[in-house]
A = this chain, B = another copy of it.
Amino acid sequence: MLQNCSITICQIPIRVRYPEVDRQNAVHHSVYPVYFEMGRTELLRANGYDYKTLEDNGIALVVARLECRFRAPARYDDELLLTTRVGKIDRVRLEHLYKLERPDNGRLIAEGRTILVHIDKEGKLQSLPEFLLAEKPE
């Protein structure tokens, strides 16, 4: 039997790569969803799972909704700190909340929110696997 995901928060450093920065000398807004996904992946790994194996076993989680507020530009070579937290969970929706900061000056760069859903191979919505939940659903 699989253990539940009891760890609900995780922090990772992210170094900004050269091509992630645009001609305004700022990380392009399309890059933040990639960072957020890295945060989710590492949060899952902290709980003893790796997303690749899940997906290879037919448990595909897809992003159904994305929200992001861009607070301040991040620059090339910045070493950012991404905090990923599990938000609300119900039978079919898994929310994550993200905060991206520059730890050297405490500046908030971006905040985000995603909703993941679980789909089968035909793309049909499924209940979330129980082990993804921090606590047993009542």
A59: min CB distance to chain B, Å: 12
Looking at A25, A28, A60, A123, which has the most chain B CB atoms within 10 Å of its CB?
A28
The A41-92 residues at the B interface (CB cut-off 8 A) are 41, 50-52, 55, 60, 62-70, 72-73, 75-77
Contact A70 B62 (CB under 8 A): yes
Assembly stoichiometry (copies): 4
A37 at the interface (CB under 8 A from B): yes
Binary interface encoding of chain A residues 1-42 relative to chain B, with 1 for a CB under 8 A from any of its CBs, else 0: 000000000000000011101111110111101100110010
Give me 29 A-to-B residue pairs in the complex whose CB atoms sit less than 8 angstroms apart, sorted by A's number. Answer: A17-B34, A18-B41, A19-B22, A19-B34, A21-B23, A22-B22, A22-B23, A23-B23, A23-B25, A23-B76, A24-B60, A24-B62, A26-B62, A29-B33, A29-B62, A29-B63, A30-B30, A30-B31, A30-B34, A30-B37, A41-B77, A51-B77, A52-B76, A64-B69, A64-B70, A65-B67, A65-B70, A66-B67, A67-B68
